[in-house]
Structure 1
Amino acid sequence: MTQHIGTPPTQDDTQPHPAKPAQLTVFQGRVADRNPLGMAGAQRMGQALAQRLGLSPQVVGTPRTPLAAPWDVELNAARQELEELARAMERTLQRGQVPITTLGRCAAAIATLPMVARHHPDAAIVWFDAHADSNLPANSASGYLGGLVLTGAAGLWDTGLSGDLRLAQVVLVGARDIDPAEQALIDSGTLRLVPPGKDLAQRLATAIGQRPVYIHLDCDVLEPGTVPTEYLVPGGLTLADLGEAMTALAKNAVVGLEIAEFQSRWPEANTEASPDALIDALLPLLSKICPGV
């Protein structure tokens, strides 16, 4: 059964939760969407994960028409559902479960990351993304909310949500479209970058050490054409690269996984997209979270 989370909390929120190792959450809210394919993609990915893992997903938020607006307009419009997402994440962590979350857009992580950092301050936040997503409103050329996520989650600008993340926790993986202010954070050592290329999994293992890991996967970290996603940045990871990275990460304690930016259709051909190959690449990690899958 799918449980839909809204305000006020449903009756199920006050009842004992089944003894599952993980909680699957599907976020359907609109956050910095320019098209509806991410919201639909989060639903499709969530359904596929539910079948693979034997989990009953909870749904947070309701799909709405994209705004394609500046960051502050998007944030204000999404605030209520982002607050609901943050509460759902915190309840999962308080129960001692591992969150597995599907997000339409990376911008929704502005609600999830502070909760993870609050409960797992020693965890490495492993951010798979073609972009560094660490601009500030004052230096963002695009004014896109998705490019402000890490700094917002770290409280470097006021999101109106929590800011418990420390940028020192973040390990960027696969980033290659990096703005000057973001590069300055990398050059100063504030953010650590594991760029795409040879021996990625080995370099990632060195970067995370023995720390617990929380993984954020933006599908645009992959080579364009691997799965449908809004942004296409050449020089990305293959599914084999991703699988090797997941194998390396699974050697550590895994405290959560979120998947963003999987679009439900291939826009050029207007055909439906399957998440199965991507989930196959994630199996080393998913098997660690949910043994026996």
Structure 2
Amino acid sequence: MKKISIIGMPMDLGQLRRGVDMGPSAIRYADIVERLENNGFHVDDLGDVQIGRDRLETDPQTGIRNLTAVVKSSEQLMAKVEGVMKANSFPLILGGDHSIAIGTLAGVTKFRKRLGVIWFDAHGDLNTPETSPSGNIHGMPLAASIGLGEKKLTDIGGFTPKVEPENVVIIGARSLDEGEKNLIKEKGIKVYTMHEIDRVGMSSIIEETIAYFRNNGVDGVHLSFDLDGLDPLYAPGVGTPVAGGVTTREAHLAMELLAESQMITSAEFVEVNPILDERNKTGQLAVDLVGSLFGERIL
């Protein structure tokens, strides 16, 4: 029986809107453990990483918000993920804002040296302190994970980069800052915007992504799923909604095809904000998508 270990990461320090720290609770409330157990998995819910908020600040040198607290929390999450990987269990992390990916990837890549990453998101999260319009770390985790930006973020775990740019695929992008656009071109990062999704369809994009990773010889694939990748019509409870996004059905198809590929070796679902939600619609959607990722089918 396959083992799944759930780690809650109630982080809201990577951005300014309160409420996303309750995301793990909202996803649990939608019965994620029962859903996975009913599909034949052994599930161990490890509870939440304890996020301190002793001192919230903006770093005077870099303009980054809550740098010290995010670094500390990322190191805690990294250690939890390492423990899960050592136990040969599948790490499933529930966010929290998207800055948590820094800690997740630091833990996963201690065990997978050529990791592929699917970044399912309306945003690129490729800002550095120089390009960020806000100083919010939830706009920086992918840049930090490929070794760019603030050293305290890039060097978590004692090594950098965690992931090579050629092993990253962004899906669903429709809101990119100028600095991110330049970085994508400079590093040759593969990005499927909503234009490509509309034009060729989600099935073609996921099939191309699977083939791309196989050709690159990755030793595992991490799925980093930001619920704002979906259109706010379907996922209203997110902190930075962007109109014109992925439909519920397209997202389920993506998860189903990834399940069939058996390539996904770790995953996180982030940016669920129940304060902005409608009767836990987004938390429930996160659970439904997790179900599809782990093999649920209509028939």
TM-score bin, normalised by smaller chain: 0.7 to 0.9
SS at match of 1:256: strand
Structure 2 unaligned regions, length at least 5: 38-42
Mark the CA change 1:241 to 1:63 in structure 2 (over 3 Å): closer, same or farther.
Answer: farther
Q: Displacement of 1:205 after TM fit?
A: 1.8
Query: 1:229 maps to what in 2?
Result: 238
Range moving further from structure 2, 25-34 or 105-114: 25-34
Q: Displacement of 1:43 after TM fit?
A: 1.9
Are residues 1:79 and 2:71 paired?
yes
Q: Displacement of 1:79 after TM fit?
A: 2.6
AA partner of residue 219 (structure 1): L
AA partner of residue 234 (structure 2): T
Q: Displacement of 1:180 after TM fit?
A: 1.7
Are residues 1:256 and 2:266 paired?
yes
Query: 2:115 maps to what in 1?
Result: 123
Query: 1:16 maps to what in 2?
Result: none
Q: Do the aligned residues in 1 keep the contact of 2:52 with 2:69 (CA within 8 Å)?
A: no
Q: TM-score, normalised by structure 2?
A: 0.81
Residues of 1 paired with 2:144 and 2:275: CA distance?
A: 30
Residues of 2 paired with 1:107 and 1:282: CA distance?
A: 20
AA partner of residue 200 (structure 1): M
Query: 2:40 maps to what in 1?
Result: none
Q: Do the aligned residues in 2 keep the contact of 1:266 with 1:273 (CA within 8 Å)?
A: no
Query: 2:191 maps to what in 1?
Result: 193
The equivalent position to 1:168 in structure 2, one of 146, 166, 169, is 166
Mark the CA change 1:280 to 1:147 in structure 2 (over 3 Å): closer, same or farther.
Answer: same
Mark the CA change 1:50 to 1:66 in structure 2 (over 3 Å): closer, same or farther.
Answer: farther
Query: 1:23 maps to what in 2?
Result: 5
Structure 1 unaligned regions, length at least 5: 1-18
Q: TM-score, normalised by structure 1?
A: 0.82
The equivalent position to 1:278 in structure 2, one of 265, 286, 293, is 286
Residues of 2 paired with 1:287 and 1:141: CA distance?
A: 39
Q: Do the aligned residues in 2 keep the contact of 1:114 with 1:165 (CA within 8 Å)?
A: no
Mark the CA change 1:80 to 1:185 in structure 2 (over 3 Å): closer, same or farther.
Answer: closer
SS at match of 2:246: coil
Mark the CA change 1:272 to 1:208 in structure 2 (over 3 Å): closer, same or farther.
Answer: closer
Residues of 2 paired with 1:142 and 1:73: CA distance?
A: 9
Q: Do the aligned residues in 2 keep the contact of 1:36 with 1:66 (CA within 8 Å)?
A: no
The equivalent position to 1:60 in structure 2, one of 35, 38, 49, is 49
Q: Do the aligned residues in 2 keep the contact of 1:219 with 1:229 (CA within 8 Å)?
A: yes
Residues of 1 paired with 2:14 and 2:163: CA distance?
A: 21
Are residues 1:50 and 2:33 paired?
yes
SS at match of 2:94: strand
Which structure would you say has the larger RCO, counting Cα contacts within 8 Å and 6 or more residues apart?
Answer: 2
AA partner of residue 203 (structure 1): I
Q: Do the aligned residues in 1 keep the contact of 2:75 with 2:103 (CA within 8 Å)?
A: yes
Residues of 2 paired with 1:181 and 1:32: CA distance?
A: 19
Residues of 1 paired with 2:182 and 2:173: CA distance?
A: 14
Amino-acid identity (%): 23
Count of residues in Structure 1 that have an aligned counterpart in Structure 2: 269
